[in-house]
Structure 1
Amino acid sequence: MCRAVDLRQAVLAKNDAGAEVLRGNLAARGTTVVNLLSSPGSGKTALLERELLLARERSVPVAALTADLATENDAARLARSGVPVKQVLTDGLCHLEAGMLAQHLVGWLPDDTRLLFVENVGNLVCPASYDLGETLRVVLASVTEGEDKPLKYPTAFGLAHLVVITKTDIARAVEFDEDAFRANVEQVNPGVDIVLTSARRGQGTGAVLDRALAAASGEPPHRPVMARATHTHAHAVGDLTHTHS
């Protein structure tokens, strides 16, 4: 069991090293990466489409890369915004890795891109452990997923720079307890901001874009306690933090 954990840590350490290189290379060209994580069906694509449309209206050079196990449905939806979009099919892999992202950017990402939004595979386990060279990590949860989501997936929510609640237009119908959700987020990631959104009604539109632009301008994002404790994503294994025995 210890060897399996050691191997996992070695894989993550290699990924983190690649992520640092990618982050530096993109920063040198003026591009900031925003990594979006959530469960399937959270409304991540719908909200991202609105953010991309707003970025275009503001003349902010943005691009989006979306990852799925199969189909190009999300890329087709995001392309309606008129910004450069690329679909990555992972062929069964449940997450993106820094090396994969770097490979898919070669020859595709426009030189003037200020913000690159990465819509990770719909999964709150594996993607949480992989740094993609992002400056801003946004974790989304819909009101239909339950108030205890942050406690069930502490690594995902614990390493977030921003937490977004989606589908708030139906919060009352599903009896979503916002106070309980906020308390659970605070337990795993003290001090992180939580934004309320509804892609259908336009509530909260622009909040993610504004945070991304602030990060691109050099404003330090929230620093999660988990990140300060581990100093790196390499020790975050699934939803457990492991140490060598």
Structure 2
Amino acid sequence: MCVTCGCVEGEVRVEGEPAHEAVHDHVHADGSAHTHSHDDAPAHAHAPGLGPKRRVQIELDILAKNNAYAQANRKALAERGIFALNLVSSPGSGKTTLLCQTIARLGQQAVAVIEGDQQTSRDADRIRATGAQALQINTGKGCHLDAHMVGHAMEKLKLEDESLLMIENVGNLVCPAAFDLGEAHKVVILSVTEGEDKPIKYPDMFRAASLMLLNKIDLLPHLDYDVAAAIGFARRVNPSIRVIQLSATSGEGMDAWLAFLHEGVAQAR
């Protein structure tokens, strides 16, 4: 069960592997190429008719298992000095364009990307066109990545020591907030083509994030958008959140974002 929405994942596909499907009274999905039991990996459970106490217990079990995988990921990344970020947003915020432009501007910095989408490898293809390595995870009906999927993807990628790993989560401002992937920071991307009040409509995500990127600011002259209100709403739910205003298209504000990345990579080393 997604602890928030109760969605069901019927099939998860890690690029280059056969699909994994497991459907029983608690549906689960992970990034591996073979079937696991419910106890092997964090899962989504869809169990209509369960009492509230049993449902809460299942949710707690799922998060506990996910957190164990996340800690293992975090330890593996720390041992190799890899700086990992979990990029989260609504669909259409510009995450993939931002990643492509970021990679182009990073120069010699080694970078790898894990792409999460329900279907297609279009985003991973775009990343690979920049010269960076990328691995696509298709979650089927699932609404987010979990730590077990990410850990399996990390094993398949040829990650370099002291490199940068960016995880582009499934476009969703609800469910990814609850699932730690082992990242150093969650980075939430809000575009100026969305509502200023997104942070208070989806507070869990903005509360979980260390950094908010306010993207597509090149469009501000054409929009009726209150930047101060958007930042104010974000800081209402998370007073310590850092905000960088940028445009992946025009390049405005990208230097501040790149400085954040370079600082994180240096600290990870």
TM norm structure 1? 0.84
2:261 maps to a residue whose letter is: A
- Tell which structure's C-alpha radius of gyration is larger: 2
Matches within 5 A, 1:90-109: 90-109=139-158
Aligned-residue offset at 1:113: 5.5
- Does 1:156 pair with 2:205? yes
> Are the equivalent residues in 1 in contact too, given 2:81–2:163 (CA < 8 A)?
yes
| Aligned equivalent of 2:224 | 175
1:198-234 per-position Cα deviation (integer Å, ceiling 9, x unaligned): 1111112243332233223338xxxxxxxxxxxxxxx
SS at match of 1:67: strand
Pairing partner for 1:186 from 221, 235, 255: 235
Alpha-carbon distance between aligned partners in 2 of 1:218 and 1:95, rounded to the nearest angstrom: 28
Return 5+ residue gaps in structure 2 as ranges.
1-51
1:162-199 per-position Cα deviation (integer Å, ceiling 9, x unaligned): 00111111123221101111110110000211111111
SS at match of 1:93: coil
Matches within 5 A, 1:1-245: 1-55=52-106, 57=107, 59-112=108-161, 114-218=163-267
Alpha-carbon distance between aligned partners in 2 of 1:93 and 1:116, rounded to the nearest angstrom: 22
1:12 maps to a residue whose letter is: L
> Structure 1's 174 and 2: CA in aligned 2 closer, same or farther, altered over 3 A?
farther
1:26-62 per-position Cα deviation (integer Å, ceiling 9, x unaligned): 111121211100000001111111111112x2x1111
Aligned-residue offset at 1:66: 0.8
> Are the equivalent residues in 2 in contact too, given 1:62–1:114 (CA < 8 A)?
yes
Mean Cα deviation higher: 201-210 or 129-138: 201-210
1:107 maps to a residue whose letter is: K
> Are the equivalent residues in 1 in contact too, given 2:210–2:240 (CA < 8 A)?
no
Return 5+ residue gaps in structure 1 as ranges.
220-245
1:68 maps to a residue whose letter is: D
TM norm structure 2? 0.77
1:152 maps to a residue whose letter is: K
Alpha-carbon distance between aligned partners in 2 of 1:53 and 1:179, rounded to the nearest angstrom: 30
Q: How many residues align?
A: 217
> Are the equivalent residues in 1 in contact too, given 2:162–2:265 (CA < 8 A)?
no
1:36 maps to a residue whose letter is: L
- RMSD after superposition: 1.5
1:71-96 per-position Cα deviation (integer Å, ceiling 9, x unaligned): 11111111221111111111221100
Alpha-carbon distance between aligned partners in 2 of 1:119 and 1:150, rounded to the nearest angstrom: 19
